[in-house]
Amino acid sequence: MSNKQARVPLPVTGERVALKARKVSFSWEETPLHWVPGDPFATHTMNVLHLLLPAGERWFVHVYRQILPYIRDDRLREDVLGFIGQEAVHSQAHDEVLPHLREQGLDPTPYTAQVDWFFEKLLGDRTLPPGRARRWWLMERVALIAAIEHYTAFLGDWILNARELDRRGADPTMLDLLRWHGAEEVEHRSVAFDLFMHVDGSYRRRARTWALAFTTLVFLWQRGIRFFLANDPTLVEGKGGFRDFYVRGRRGVLPSTGAMLRSIPRYLSREYHPSQEGSTEQAVAYLASSPAALAALAAEKGAK
C-alpha cells in the first residue's frame, strides 16, 4: 500500500455535533493566584495553557483559513468553520487571564513574547513561492495541528474527569474555563485529524509531525512551568521538576505520566481515529451545565 492516502480510519460512532462557538466571558477578581489551594506547582502547570494557547490557537485559525480552498467535502468544511470559530474564542478567553496574573505580580510578557515569535515567525507563512514548497509547508502545519489536537482532546477529557481538583477546592471559575474549553476540545476532537486525512493523510508525515509536536510541547511546557515558579512573587524558592509532575499525576491533580505515555502509541496506530478518545456525550453534558456557556447562551438569546 502506498504511504500516501493509506486506509482512512472511520469514526467509532456515527454521531455528529454541529460545532458552534460559545462567546463566553469570565471574571477573575475572585480567583486566587494559587487557584489549586496550596499547590503552586499544579496551578502553574495548568497556567501554562494561558501562555501557549492564545498564540497557538490564533495560529490554528490562521493556518485553517488557508486550507479552506483545499476542502472538497461540504460537511468537513462546515466542521472546519465551526472549529475555527471555537478556537478563536478559546484563544481570547485564555488571553484574558493574563491581565489578572499581571495584577497579582506575575507578568508573563517575557515568556509570551517567545511563544508569539515561535508561532508567528517559526511556524508562520514564510516567504515561500506559490507551488510545491508553499503547499508542503501548509500540509506540514495541518498535520502538526492534528497532532496537537490529539493532546488538547486528551487534556480536555482529563479535566472533565479531574474530580480531585473539585475535592481540593480548586477555583470554580478557573475550572469552568478549563472544562468549557476541554469540553469543546472533546466535541471537535475529530476535525483536525479528518481534515489532515482529507487533504494529505501521509502516515510518514503524521508520525514526523507528531514527534515535532510532542517534543515542542514538552519543551515549551516545562519552560513555562519554570518561568511561573521563578517569577511567582509569593514563592521563596520557586522550583519544580519531573518528580513534582509525576507525584501530582498519581494524586489526580494533573494528568498522570502513564496515561500520557499510553496516548503516544494510540496516535501512531494506523487504526487511530480521535473519536476513540473521550466522550462526546460527556462534553455536551458539561457544555449544557457550564456557568460560562449558559451565560453566553442567555446573552445570545437576549441579543436576538
Separation of alpha carbons 301 and 217, rounded Å = 38
Asked whether position 22 contacts Fe ion by CB under 5 A, the answer is: no
Shortest distance, CB of residue 303 to Fe ion, whole angstroms? Answer: 24
Q: How far is the CB of 56 from Fe ion (least distance, A)?
A: 8
Q: What is the dihedral of CA 183, 198, 56, 227, to 10 degrees?
A: 80
Question: Whose CA is closest to 180, among 255, 61, 90?
Answer: 90
- Binding status of residue 152 toward Fe ion by CB under 5 A: yes
Nearer to Fe ion, 77 or 226 (CB): 77
> Shortest gap between Cβ of 178 and Fe ion (angstroms)?
11
Q: How far is the CB of 190 from Fe ion (least distance, A)?
A: 11
Smallest distance from Fe ion to CB 258, Å: 24
Nine cell digits for residue 152: 488538547
As measured in angstroms, the least distance from the Cβ of 185 to Fe ion is: 5
| CB of residue 126 to Fe ion, shortest distance in Å | 24
Amino acid making up residue 3 = N
Using CB under 5 A, which of the segments 9-17, 63-71, 146-154, 226-234 binds Fe ion?
Answer: 146-154
User: For residue 163, what are the contacts with CB-CB under 8 A and spacing of at least 6?
Assistant: 252
Binding residues for Fe ion, total number by CB under 5 A: 4
The smaller minimum CB distance to Fe ion, of residues 185 and 232, is found at 185
Burial status of residue 46 (CB atoms within 10 A of its CB: 0-12, 13-18, 19 or more): buried
Q: Does 205 bind Fe ion (CB under 5 A)?
A: no
Within 81-110, the residues that bind Fe ion by CB under 5 A are 87, 90
The residue written with cell numbers 496515561 in the block is 259
Nearer to Fe ion, 90 or 150 (CB): 90
Looking at the Cβ atoms of 34 and 181, the one nearer to Fe ion is 181
**Ordered DSSP codes for 72-117:** --HHHHHHHHHHHHHHHHHHHHHHTTHHHHHHTT---HHHHHHHHH
Q: Which stretch binds Fe ion (CB under 5 A): 6-14, 182-190, 210-218, 231-239?
A: 182-190
| Measured distance CA(146)–CA(194) in Å, rounded | 8
How far is 240 from 227, CA to CA, in rounded Å? 11
Q: Which residue is nearest to Fe ion (CB)?
A: 90
- Residues forming contacts to Fe ion in the complex (CB under 5 A) are 87, 90, 152, 185
